[in-house]
Amino acid sequence: MTAVIAARSDVVGSLLRPPRLLEARELFADERLSTAELKFAEDEAVCEALRLQEDAGVDVVTDGEMRRLSFQSQLPAAVEGFSDWDLDAFLWGDWHGDPEVGELQLERPELAVVSKLRRRRSLCAEEFAFARGHTDRVLKVTLPSPSLFANFWDPRRAPAKYRALEDFLTDVAEVLREEADELEAMGATYLQLDAPHYTMVLDPSYRDFYASRGWPTERWLELGVELDNRVIGDRPGVTFGFHLCRGNQASRWLVEGGYDAIAEQLFGAIRADRLLLEYDDARSGSFEPLVRVPGDRWVVLGLVTTKRPDLESTDELARRIDAASRHVALERLAISSQCGFATSVLGNALTIDDERAKLGIIAETARKVWG
């Protein structure tokens, strides 16, 4: 039985990239900066991210995903077998936003798996090895959920080995399982699967997309959880988190709707120890689906938004935690932001000072509620 990390204030993963790092990325892309110089800029940004989280007082920290283009880009960056891709591979969809940021429709780019997957290097080992030497807090490493990569499968271009989507995703899951094995061997104690694609089935257009791949919603959820559980495996020394949201890019979102339609298949079947669930506004629905969470799992309530700079109050957050405790016992609850602050290098429409204040309010609320 896993000894679950009992952190009351958590973080999802990504943090805003500082301007110096964004500039370094641009210079590197233009071949005006060496690999060593880019790595130095990344190291510096990671140290700043760790200090920011520590100063804010949160129990869990990450490296801010400073070395990644997107929260999921470390897999195609480290694994052979994909066609050419760039940031657009992770941005496509019909994005919705408040009037300040507006709507955005981005077509799916030409993406495909074109040969057997081969893991050339670790996805996250460098992230973990560097960060653990610069913090004494619980350090989380995030991994993408395997079935998230269905958008890289094109039946017209798939190699013979991957004529079926399930065969491709099975190999993706194997790559991620190997990565989890390596991180566990290195001493990682908190890993997280990011799985925003599950809530996409709340929208008919996304249901149709997965159905066009031969996977109606019920089977799609079943396959996804089966692959996630293969990555999670049996790791008594590792706590696994499982994060759900509804899209988070440049302060926009993809879908809305409560967890009611997917709670039974996801909450009860996933073997994760901590469910990190988006709950920052009415788009996420009520807390009622939390009754589907098994009694040995924690729920980390994503009550603090990363999409807007408005700062929540501890009183307001404490009231919402109290409301959630009518469905899940208070001792099995924790608090975090609803998603990362920068799902990709694009970030969100708030500043690093806003980010610092929001992390601080998460830590302050946790102390107020749980002591």
Q: Where are the domains of the chain?
A: 19-74+123-147+163-370
Which residue, 72, 63, 23, 28, is CA-closest to 45? Answer: 63
Mean pLDDT of 248-269: 93
> How does pLDDT run across 75-116, given as a tens digit for each residue?
999 999 999 999 999 988 899 999 889 999 989 899 999 999
3-state helix, strand, coil in the chain (%, to 5): 45, 15, 40
The reported pLDDT for the residue numbered 206 is 80
Average pLDDT on 277-296 reads 96
Question: Could you count the other beta carbons within 10 Å of the beta carbon of residue 282?
Answer: 9
pLDDT at 215: 81
Q: What tens digit of pLDDT does each residue of 107-162 get?
A: 989 999 999 999 999 999 999 999 999 999 999 999 999 999 999 999 999 999 99
Confidence at residue 1, expressed as pLDDT on a 0 to 100 scale: 47
pLDDT band at 327 (very low <50, low <70, confident <90, very high): very high
Helix (H, G, I), strand (E, B) or coil at 127: helix
Condensed to tens digits (0 to 9), the pLDDT of residues 215-236 reads: 888 888 999 999 999 999 999 9
Q: Is the CB of residue 13 less than 8 Å from the CB of residue 340?
A: yes
Report the pLDDT value the prediction gives residue 70, as an integer from 0 to 100: 95
CATH number, span 19-74+123-147+163-370: 3.20.20.210
Asked whether residue 204 carries a pLDDT value surpassing 90, the answer given is: no
| pLDDT of residue 47 exceeding 80 | yes
Q: Following DSSP, what letter does each residue of 341-370 receive, concatenated?
A: S-SBTT--SS-HHHHHHHHHHHHHHHHHHH
